[in-house]
Amino acid sequence: MGKHVAIEVDTREIVKIMHERIDDILDFSAQQPNREYPYTKELADQDRKRYERELKRVAKERANHVWQAAQSIPNWTGSRLLVKPSSVSSSFGSGHTFMHDDGEVTNTVYVVVYKTTLTMAPGFTLFSDNTVDDVLDAGDRDFFTDPELEGDYFALVGELRHPGRSQKEADKTVALYTARPAKDRRLYEGARHIPSNIFLTTSFDEAEGYMVEFGGERDIWKVRIKKKHLIQTLDTPRIKNYQAFSSTGRVPVESIELA
């Protein structure tokens, strides 16, 4: 099991949206005095209590799903999690509401991963079918000021997308390619460690493209490295991209040689 993972649930915003929607319905009903079944304040109060209970129950279930994923990550570094239910687009009029057309309250959540402050903390959206979206780019220093936070963020995204993979593949060794400045050749020849945050890819052509894009004379290296030292940043059938990661700044490798 991973380290203890602290998690909180914040339903204040979604509950506020729920109250606003019920107020809208109550106001609309008051403007229809001849309706056979008016929506009264008593009915509105009952709905407020019922929906608030349901919103909190569903949010807690979704948070538990996120927590279990984080707990299963072997090298979790102690980031905290905040789970907030997300509103859904309203089918009636503009804006957003708290439940779907079928009457079920929203079970889409926004997950924030942070260390000490929520200011500019990175997050992503987890939909009801467990699809993960709104994932940030690796290396975005506006959000990732701490390499451990970045590692936890992408490890959690990966575990939610592929449950169980973190533990199964932690010690699996993969062969990847990276393009590094030719002037640094001596640093990489026979090295047992590489710097953290280096770009690595399963595709030689992708590494070549990286070399062309950033210019300068570069070598392409073939690196054998354990998956537990990687953050996956792209996952397609043809290409998988990674960043090497270590909280110490030095990432151990099994071997490295010119490709």
pLDDT in tens, 1-60: 446 899 999 999 999 999 999 999 899 888 887 777 788 899 999 999 999 999 999 999
Instruction: Look at residues 84, 143, 75 and name the one whose alpha carbon lies nearest to residue 109.
Output: 84
Question: Residue 93: its pLDDT value, please?
Answer: 53
Residue-wise DSSP of 92-160: SSSSEESB-TTSPBP--EEEEEESS--TT--EEEE-TT--EESPPPTT-TTT--SHHHHHHHHHHHHHH
Nearest-5° Cα angle at 164, 158 to 167: 90
Token digits for 115?
Answer: 């260390």
Question: Residue 94: its pLDDT value, please?
Answer: 57
Instruction: Look at residues 20, 162, 36 and name the one whose alpha carbon lies nearest to residue 93.
Output: 20
- Report the length, in residues, of the chain: 259
> Which domains does the chain possess?
7-165 (no CATH), 171-258 (3.20.170)
Rounded to an integer, the average pLDDT of 223-240 is 86
Residues of the chain with pLDDT > 90, as a percent, come to 56
CA dist list (Å): 26 to 40, 43, 65, 99, 167 = 7, 9, 35, 17, 51
Q: Which residues contact 213 (CB under 8 A, 6 or more apart)?
A: none
Instruction: Count CB atoms within 10 A of the CB of residue 9.
Output: 19
Question: Residue 232: its pLDDT value, please?
Answer: 79
Residues of the chain with pLDDT > 70, as a percent, come to 95
Task: Annotate 108-124 with b (16+ C-beta within 10 A) or e (fewer).
Answer: bbbbbbbeeeeeebbbb
Question: Residue 92: its pLDDT value, please?
Answer: 57
Mean pLDDT of the chain: 89
Summarize pLDDT for 91-126 with one digit per residue, the tens: 655 567 888 877 889 999 999 999 999 999 999 999
- Angle of the 41-71 helix axis to the 147-161 helix axis, nearest 10: 100
Token digits for 102?
Answer: 């079928």
Is the per-residue pLDDT at 90 higher than 80? no
Instruction: Look at residues 198, 204, 185, 211 and name the one whose alpha carbon lies nearest to residue 251.
Output: 198
Summarize pLDDT for 190-216 with one digit per residue, the tens: 999 999 888 999 999 999 887 777 667
Q: Does the predicted TM-score (pTM) go above 0.85?
A: no
Question: Residue 43: its pLDDT value, please?
Answer: 94
CA-CA-CA-CA torsion sign (39, 40, 41, 46): negative
Question: Residue 1: its pLDDT value, please?
Answer: 41
